[in-house]
Amino acid sequence: MATLYIVPTPVGNMEDMTLRAVRVLKEADLILAEDTRTSGILLKHFDIKNQLMSHHKFNEHGTTAGIIERLKAGQTIAVISDAGTPGISDPGFLVVREAAKAGIEVICLPGATACIPAIVSSGLPCDKFCFEGFLPQKKGRQTHLLALQDETRTMVFYESPYRLLKTLTQFTETFGEERQVSVAREISKIHEESVRGTLAEVLQHFTEKEPKGEIVIVLAGNDSKPQNEKKNKYNN
C-alpha cells in the first residue's frame, strides 16, 4: 500500500539515526531530500542507495502534484530534511497536506528534532510550551514579538548565529532584561552547550563570545499576573 513516510534525521550526531529510519529509507521507492548533497552524505554513511529527488521550499509547489501521483500509483516515498524532522521549520508540510487530502497514508517516525532537547535541558517549565520557529526577519517581526508579551507558556525559537545578538537585544527590549532564557547551540554535537540566565546575562555572554552553530532559544513565559487578577485582601 502506498505510504508517505516523514523520516527524522540527526541534527548533528549520526548515532541519533534510528534503526527504523534506516530501514524505511532503504525500502522506499523514492527519497525526497531538502538538499541532495547534504542528505547524500547521510545516506552514504548508512549504505542507502535508493533514488533521491530534490524537494525544498523553492520547488515544492511545482513537484508536489507529481509526487502525489507516484503515491497514488502505489509507490512508497520518504521525506527527509537536512537535519531534524521535516515540516518543523523545514519543507514537508505541503506534501503531507496534499497526501492526506488524497487519502494516502502518512506516517511520521519519531526521532531527532532540536526543539525538544533544548527545552527539556533548559531548566524552564516544559509541561506546556509554544513553538515559534524562526521569527520574521523583517516585516511583522516587532508586531509578532509584542503579541507574545503576555504569553505565559515557555517559548521556543530557532535562530541563526548571525542574528542571535539582534534577537536577544529585541527580546530584552520587549520582555525585559530579567526574563529567564536558555540558548542551546550545537545540539548533539561535540561543542554542544546551553547558556542559561537572564536575558541581560545571556546577551552579555554572547556579546563577549561570538555565537556559532545552530541556535535554539528557550524563553520563559510571562509569570506576572494582570493587575485585575491579583488577589485583593478584602475579597473572600
pLDDT of residue 91: 86
Helices (H), the chain: 19-27, 36-45, 60-72, 93-101, 115-120, 141-147, 164-175, 199-208
Region 212-225: mean pLDDT is: 91
Mean pLDDT score of the chain: 92
Region 151-177: mean pLDDT is: 97
- Which triple of cell numbers denotes residue 61? 509547489
- Laid out side by side, the sheet with 193-198 consists of 129-134, 154-159, 215-219, 180-185, 193-198
pTM given for the model = 0.89
pLDDT of residue 187: 95
* Residue 74, pLDDT above cutoff 90: yes
pLDDT of residue 236: 46
The backbone torsions φ and ψ at residue 178, rounded to the nearest 5 degrees and listed phi first, read: -90, -5
**Structural contact between residues 175 and 149, judged by C-beta atoms closer than 8 angstroms:** yes
- Residues linked to residue 53 through DSSP beta bridges, in sequence order: 32
d(CA 135, CA 215): 13
pLDDT of residue 47: 96
Lowest model confidence (mean pLDDT) among 153-157, 175-179, 194-198, 231-235:
231-235
Q: What domains can you pick out in the chain, each with its CATH number? A: 3-108 (3.40.1010.10), 115-219 (3.30.950.10)
Write the pLDDT tens digit of every residue in 179-196: 999 999 999 999 999 999
Region 139-155: mean pLDDT is: 94
**Which of the four pLDDT bands, split at 50, 70 and 90, describes residue 51?**
very high
d(CA 90, CA 98): 16
* Residue 21, pLDDT above cutoff 60: yes
Write the pLDDT tens digit of every residue in 220-235: 999 876 545 445 544 5
* Residue 58, pLDDT above cutoff 90: no
Region 52-78: mean pLDDT is: 91
pLDDT of residue 1: 67
pLDDT of residue 230: 47
